[in-house]
Structures are given as C-alpha cells and as structure tokens.
Amino acid sequence: MLTNFFVKNLDIVFFFYGLSFVVMAIAILVQPRRKSIFRLADVIWILAGFGITHGMNEWLDMFAIIKWPHSNLFNLIRLVILAISFIFLYEFGRRLISLETKEVLNRWSTVILCLLVLVGILVFKREPSIWPRYLLCFPGGILSTFGFMRYYQRNKTILAPINVKRYFFVAAFSIGIYSIAGGIVVPQANFPPASIINTAFFLRVFGVPVQLFRTFCAIFLAWSIGHILIIFNWETNHTLTSLLEETSAAKAALEKAYNELEMNHFELKATQSQLIQAEKMEVVGRLASGVAHEVKNPLAIILQGTDYLSNNISTISTDKEGISLALKYMKEAIKRADLVIKGLLDFSSISEMKMAPENLNSVVESSLLLIKNHIERNRTEVIKSLKKDLPIINLDKNKIEQAFINIFLNSIDAMPNGGQLRIKTYTQETEGEGSVVIAEIEDTGTGIPPDILDKIGEPFFTTKREKGGTGLGLSIVKNIVDLQYGKIKIENKEDNSGVRVTVMFKV
C-alpha cells in the first residue's frame, strides 16, 4: 500500500524535492558573503546554481508525470537542465575540496567529464540522463562530501565557537547519500551497472521510489546548509561588534588626546606668557638708564622751581608772572615724569591677554616715549608718517608695545653710528583679509645677511650671543603678533640700505 501510494503521488514528491533545492539556493544567494573571511563564500554560490537548476529539473519531471503536454523538445530541455545542474554540483565539489589545499582536480576535469557525458548521450540514446548522473552527479557529490568535512577540519578554530560542526557533517552525509541515490541509482538500461542497480531495483528492495529518498536527502541538505549560512551572519555581527568596540576605543583615545592637548595648550600658554614676561624684563633692563634720565630732567626742573620759589618768597605778591611760570614748568615736569614712570610700570607689569579697541598710532607713540633716551643716545633720527584717522583695532596694548619696542631697539642697534628710523602707518584693502592696518618700520642699518634671513624668527637664534642676546626677541615678537591674529614680515629693503619690518592687523 505504501509503495502504491508514493508511486501514484510521485508528482507531489517531485514538488517537494525541487522545492527543497530552490529554497536552499535562495537562502545562499541572499546571504551577505561579499568580502567574507570565510573562503566558503567563494564557492557556495555554485551550490546555489545546482539548487536552482536541479529544482527546476524536478519540477519539469513533475509536469511530465501529471501528463503535461510535452515533446522531444521538452525532453531535451529537461536533459540539458539536468546536465547543467550536475555540472554545478561537480564544480562545487571540485572547488570546495581544493579550498584549503592545492588544487586536487583542475578545471579541465570538468571539461573532460562534460565531453564524456556528451559522448555517452550520443552513443546510448535510450536513457541519456544516465550519463550526467554517473559522470557528474556521483563524483560531484563524493567530492562535496569530503570537501565539507575537510573545510570544517581546516577552519575548526574559528568555526568551533559558532557551533556549526554538526551542520557541516549533516551536509556532508546528505550530499554523499544523494550522490549515490541520484548518481548510481539511475533509470533502468540494457547495460551494466544500469541493468542491475536502477530505480526499479530500488523500488523492489526498499518498497519506496528512490525519488522519495532523494527528497529526504535534499531536505536535510537544505536544512544543514541553512544553518551553515549563519557563519556569514555571525561574521557580520562580529564585524559590527568589533567596529563598535574599535569606535568606542577610538572615542576614548580621542577624548584622552583632547584632554592631553587641552592641558598641553594651557601649559604652552603659561610658558608663552612667562617667555614674553622674561623678554619684557630684559627690555626693561635695557630701558632703565634711559627712563632714569627721562625722570631726572623733570626732577631737575622741579628742583630749580622750588629754589626759585624759596629765593623769591618775599616777592610773591609782586612777581606774580615769574611765580606763575615757575609753577607751570614744575607742573609740566611732574606730568612728564609721571607719564614716563606710568608707561614703564604698565609695560613691565605681568598681565593676561587683554584685547581692547586701540589706535595703532597711540601705541607707536607710547612705545617711542619709553625708548626716547635710547634714541637720543644713539643719535637716531625718528621720521614718523602716521596716518590720521586710522580705524580702531582690537589689540593688547601692553603686548604690542613690547613688540614695537623690540623692533625699534633692534633697528637702533643695527645703526651703531646713527641713522634714520622711519615709522609709517596706513590702511590697505587685501584679498582674503579685507581691510587691514599696517605699521611699517624701516632703518638705514647694514641689513640682514641673506643666509640668516629665514632664521631670525627662530627661537634662540641670535647674532648677539657675545653681547648677551638670548635669541628670543624676534621670536617673542612673532608670537605676540600671532596671538593678536596679526602678521609680521621681516625683509631687507630693495636697495639693501636697511631692514623693513611690516606688521599687519585686521580691522
């Protein structure tokens, strides 16, 4: 009864037989295999090709059983699709077993077997489907069996934690049994072994059609392949997890780098302030004698005034004009001394960066006042060309005074026998910067040797080492100007008659 049931309903068997292979193929094709670390991804698409073509073949067999109208062309299509499916199976087995070792069989073996199949079909025309089964299905299934087992053993270290061992071995067992049921148990023919081991023999011995047996093999193969495919999902998840971990680690590292940079930036600013202040105090030392002279003169005027008043105290009521003039001179002297001392105190004070609206001309004038005696002592003629109504700019007056004083003193030192210090201010429209205020300082000294012109702004580079120069002067000047978002340029004049320093600030 069981035999009759399956024989009468063989179309249903063929339906599920073909469905199992098609589902397996679809499952393979939808998996994310691109750039996988598993080399199985390089060949498993061939198994999908086998699944689709062989599933189509079984459905065509189903149509033939239910008396679907067919002809010689229909049978030829069935044969071609059957042969193509077994070519896929053989090629899959050949490549799979060669994945983890050198090539066992080269591609020419596939070509040779296909030619033998063609010869067999042409010689034995009665049952042409026998030859694809003998020459392609059976060896392809056997190669796939050993290929699955070999692949797992070679990749056991990475595959064992994913728990897919049993699926690899079920797949190997299923495709191995299928290679016998589909490649050895063939339609009956009048030549051995098809005349002995065939579908009729199988039905007599086991009481069920071999197609049912093949269907179970297809179901188990599809089930095991479906579970093997989780290695690609695992890889994707593992990659994402690793990426997230790396991102988190990178984020933590960036936060650490940022905190370190912030701390280094704070320390650098503190060091800059200390260097600026140290250089300022060196300049204060150089200015001390000149400032003392500037204060000494007003004091002498005050002393003369007090002497005059003391000697003429009896004539105060009658010599009002003389007394008034003496008091005027004394008052002016006090203001002048106060201005010099206040300027020196402001200049030498330790201060944080304090930006405020300033007129660059007034900064130039106050800087010149502090080095007035130095200018006179070195017989330097100051020629000023300061543009009136300069736009107001944001500056730290104290720091820019320090920069200008350094520049002025360098120019004066470059003219030991006297010379001219020309100071010019003006505005200019520039591309990219917009409107800028420029201070241009020129001297008539010896200029800077071309071979050291590029080095003069480097820290600790100096040509006055024997005179106690530290090499920080112009480096500090550049640093101060940079902190004010300005620019400084130092160059020899075109006629080599001195140096030109150009300081530029954005309006």
Q: Can you give the CATH number for the domain in which 358 is found?
A: 3.30.565.10
**By residue range, what is the domain housing residue 220?**
2-228
Q: Determine, yes or no, domain membership for 475.
A: yes
How sure is the predictor about 472, in pLDDT bands with cuts at 50, 70 and 90? very low
261 vs 299 pLDDT, higher one: 261
pLDDT value, residue 470: 38
Q: Quote the pLDDT of residue 131.
A: 92
pLDDT tens figures, 344-379: 555 555 456 678 899 999 999 988 887 887 788 888
Q: Does the structure show a pLDDT above 50 at 241?
A: yes
Say if residue 51's pLDDT is above 90. Answer: yes
Average pLDDT, the chain: 81
What is this structure's pTM? 0.52
Task: Name which of 19-23, 76-80, 494-498 the model is least confident about.
Answer: 494-498
Helices marked H in 124-209 — which ranges? 130-132, 138-154, 156-159, 165-183, 199-206
Predicted pLDDT of residue 42 = 87
Task: Tell me, yes or no, whether 310 lies in a domain.
Answer: no
* 71's tokens: 């002809």
In which band, very low, low, confident or very high, does the pLDDT at 338 lie, cut at 50, 70 and 90? low
pLDDT for position 81: 93
The confidence band for 439, taking pLDDT boundaries of 50, 70 and 90, is very high
- Residue 41, pLDDT score: 86
Alpha helix positions (H), 371-467: 372-377, 397-413
Identify the domain boundary among 178, 196, 228: 228
Is there a domain that residue 378 lies in?
yes
Number of domains the chain is built from: 2
215 shares its domain with 364: no
Split at pLDDT 50, 70, 90, the class of 468 is: very low
User: Is 245 within a domain?
Assistant: no
Higher pLDDT, 232 or 163: 163
Domain boundary among 228, 252, 270: 228
**N- to C-terminal Cα distance for the chain?**
105
Q: How confident is the model at residue 485 (pLDDT cuts 50, 70, 90)?
A: confident
Per the domain annotation, does 79 fall within a domain?
yes
Q: Helix H segments across 38-106? A: 44-65, 72-98
Neighbours of 480 (CB within 10 A): 26
Q: Is there a domain that residue 277 lies in?
A: no
Q: Is residue 73 part of a domain?
A: yes
Q: Which of 211, 228, 245 is the endpoint of a domain?
A: 228
54 burial (CB, 10 Å; 0-12 / 13-18 / 19+) is buried
**Is 25 a domain residue?**
yes
Structural contact between residues 484 and 400, judged by C-beta atoms closer than 8 angstroms? yes
User: What angle is formed at CA 52 by the lines to CA 151 and CA 98, rounded to 5 degrees?
Assistant: 25
User: For 247-263, what is the mean pLDDT?
Assistant: 79
